[in-house]
């Protein structure tokens, strides 16, 4: 796979050449740039499979009627601008940007090539679009931003642990949407008389050093944000929580599937499949400027009862009834 292209003059030409979303001419195979902060090898939280499952369902297959140009930053956000410039210089007909940093890099590389983003937080606050209803530029897509999510998470924890008063939060302070998330979590917790202690993870290698700090405040539970560097080592967090008998709520259902106590978040697979729908709409002529950004509409709760029993927790029937899925 060609990971580097000639950027120089070609990049400038790609940035200057007017390109608007329009239906592809008959016989032309669209070229899609896939820009992600993830690793190249699909893992537990990888976007590749659900995105391309969604494309396949809509009749598109890489190498048949679309061509995918992959660029992965492998967690190194600083590489995204050069990778985005490579895609703009090829040029591609559309860029799929996974994560807020990837979307920012794509917009910095081109204001003319259509961009579909997914897994972004607060697209208005981060300058990706003018408004959710009318993006106004060359980017649109799907956001994970949901004001109701923090309240739902604290509610689930309080229902499972009625005496909860001290909560640790595994937090990425570098990524601005996570700061918004922490503010919302703190407010939701405060309204239920729960004190929040944030434990920062500032880099991919900092998780191992950060985990012991969680126990310093003697928390009764842990909440893991839905993004951040710690997603690279999900099993490490699950094992830490079990070893320390710390009931933990995660932002991704994959944690609960892997032995975590409970998860409460958006359906990421559905979000990525929705992004695939946006790709098809843009390829068929939809203008990003007037295509509204999709907000999450469903919050899914997943409970791992095997882990609950290992933690000696009795889950109230009302909470079990609210769960979208229960692992026995």
What is the CATH classification number for the domain harbouring 174?
A: 3.40.50.2300
- Report how far apart the first and last C-alpha atoms of the chain are (Å, whole number): 42
Does residue 159 sit in the same domain as residue 253?
yes
pLDDT value at residue 17: 35
Asked if residue 184 belongs to a domain, the reply is yes
Is 70 exceeded by the pLDDT of residue 19?
A: no
Does residue 206 sit in the same domain as residue 230?
yes
Rounded mean pLDDT, 34-58: 79
pLDDT value at residue 25: 56
Is 80 exceeded by the pLDDT of residue 7?
A: no
Q: Write the pLDDT tens digit of every residue in 118-172.
A: 989 889 988 999 999 999 999 999 998 877 889 999 999 999 999 999 999 988 7
Asked if residue 316 belongs to a domain, the reply is yes
Does residue 185 sit in the same domain as residue 281?
no
Does residue 76 sit in the same domain as residue 199?
no
Query: Structural domain tally of the chain?
Result: 2
Does residue 13 sit in the same domain as residue 129?
yes
CA distances from 104 to 9, 85, 117 (A): 22, 12, 10
pLDDT value at residue 18: 35
Is 60 exceeded by the pLDDT of residue 84?
A: yes
Which SS3 state, helix, strand or coil, does residue 101 take? helix
Q: What percent of the chain has pLDDT over 90?
A: 58
- The DSSP secondary-structure symbol of 62 reads B
Asked if residue 179 belongs to a domain, the reply is yes
Is 90 exceeded by the pLDDT of residue 268?
A: no
pLDDT value at residue 50: 87
Is 80 exceeded by the pLDDT of residue 177?
A: no
pLDDT value at residue 178: 74
pLDDT value at residue 160: 97
What phi, psi does 119 have (nearest 5°)? Answer: 60, 45
Does residue 217 sit in the same domain as residue 282?
no
Asked if residue 1 belongs to a domain, the reply is no
Rounded mean pLDDT, 191-204: 88
Q: How far apart are CA 10 and CA 299, in angstroms?
A: 44
pLDDT band with cut points at 50, 70 and 90 for residue 294: very high
Does residue 273 sit in the same domain as residue 183?
no
Does residue 129 sit in the same domain as residue 179?
no
pLDDT value at residue 24: 56
pLDDT band with cut points at 50, 70 and 90 for residue 227: low
HSE-CB for 147 with a 13 A CA cutoff: 0
Asked if residue 255 belongs to a domain, the reply is yes
Asked if residue 2 belongs to a domain, the reply is no
Is 90 exceeded by the pLDDT of residue 275?
A: yes
Asked if residue 125 belongs to a domain, the reply is yes
- The DSSP secondary-structure symbol of 289 reads G
Length of the chain: 328
Tell me which residue of 241, 215, 226, 99 sits closest to 150, measured CA to CA: 226
- The DSSP secondary-structure symbol of 266 reads -
Contact of 229 with 207, CB cutoff 8 Å: yes
Does residue 188 sit in the same domain as residue 259?
yes
pLDDT band with cut points at 50, 70 and 90 for residue 175: low
DSSP code string of 41-58: S--TT-SHHHHHHHHHHT
Pairing of strands 262-265, 300-304: antiparallel
Radius of gyration of the chain (CA): 21
Does residue 132 sit in the same domain as residue 231?
no
Q: Write the pLDDT tens digit of every residue in 198-214.
A: 988 877 677 777 888 88
Is 70 exceeded by the pLDDT of residue 14?
A: no
CA distances from 151 to 169, 223, 225, 299 (A): 14, 13, 13, 11
Does residue 176 sit in the same domain as residue 193?
yes
Does residue 127 sit in the same domain as residue 251?
no
Structural domain boundaries enclosing 168: 149-265+299-327
Q: Which residues touch 135 (CB under 8 Å, ≥6 apart)?
A: 123, 128, 129, 288, 289, 290, 291, 292, 293
Q: Which residues touch 50 (CB under 8 Å, ≥6 apart)?
A: 268, 269, 270, 272, 273, 276
Which SS3 state, helix, strand or coil, does residue 283 take? helix
Q: How far apart are CA 176 and CA 179, in angstroms?
A: 5
pLDDT value at residue 204: 63
Rounded mean pLDDT, 7-34: 55
Strands of the 115-120 sheet, one edge to the other: 67-72, 31-36, 94-98, 115-120, 139-143
pLDDT band with cut points at 50, 70 and 90 for residue 314: very high
Question: What mean pLDDT, rounded, does the chain reach?
Answer: 86
Is 80 exceeded by the pLDDT of residue 256?
A: yes
Rounded mean pLDDT, 261-287: 93
């Amino acid at each position: 796979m060609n990971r580097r292209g000639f950027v120089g003059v070609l990049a400038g030409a790609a940035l200057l050449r007017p390109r608007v979303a329009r239906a592809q001419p008959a016989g032309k195979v669209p070229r899609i740039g896939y820009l992600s902060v993830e690793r190249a090898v699909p893992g537990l939280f990888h976007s590749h499979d659900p995105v391309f499952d969604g494309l396949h369902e809509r009749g598109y297959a890489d190498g048949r009627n679309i061509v995918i140009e992959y660029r992965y930053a492998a967690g190194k956000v600083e590489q995204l601008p050069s990778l985005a410039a490579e895609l703009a210089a090829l040029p591609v007909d559309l860029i799929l940007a996974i994560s807020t940093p990837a979307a920012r890099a794509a917009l910095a590389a081109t204001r003319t090539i259509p961009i579909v983003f997914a897994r972004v937080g607060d697209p208005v606050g981060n300058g990706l679009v003018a408004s959710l209803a009318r993006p106004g530029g060359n980017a649109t897509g799907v956001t994970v931003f949901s004001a109701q999510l923090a309240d739902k998470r604290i509610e689930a924890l309080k229902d499972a642990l009625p005496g909860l008063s001290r909560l640790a939060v595994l937090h990425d302070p570098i990524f601005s949407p996570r700061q918004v998330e922490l503010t919302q979590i703190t407010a939701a917790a405060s309204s239920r008389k729960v004190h929040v202690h944030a434990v920062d993870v500032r880099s991919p290698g900092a998780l191992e050093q950060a985990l012991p700090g969680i126990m310093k405040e003697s928390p009764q539970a842990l909440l893991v944000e839905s993004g951040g560097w710690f997603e690279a080592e999900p099993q490490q967090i699950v094992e830490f929580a079990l070893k320390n008998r710390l009931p933990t709520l995660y932002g991704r259902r994959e944690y609960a599937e892997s032995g975590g106590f409970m998860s409460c978040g958006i359906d990421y697979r559905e979000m990525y499949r929705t992004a695939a729908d946006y790709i098809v709409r843009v390829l068929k002529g939809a203008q990003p400027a007037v295509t509204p950004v999709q907000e999450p509409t469903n919050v899914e709760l997943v409970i791992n009862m095997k882990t609950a029993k290992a933690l000696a927790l009795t889950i109230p029937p009302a909470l079990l009834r609210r769960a979208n899925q229960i692992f026995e």
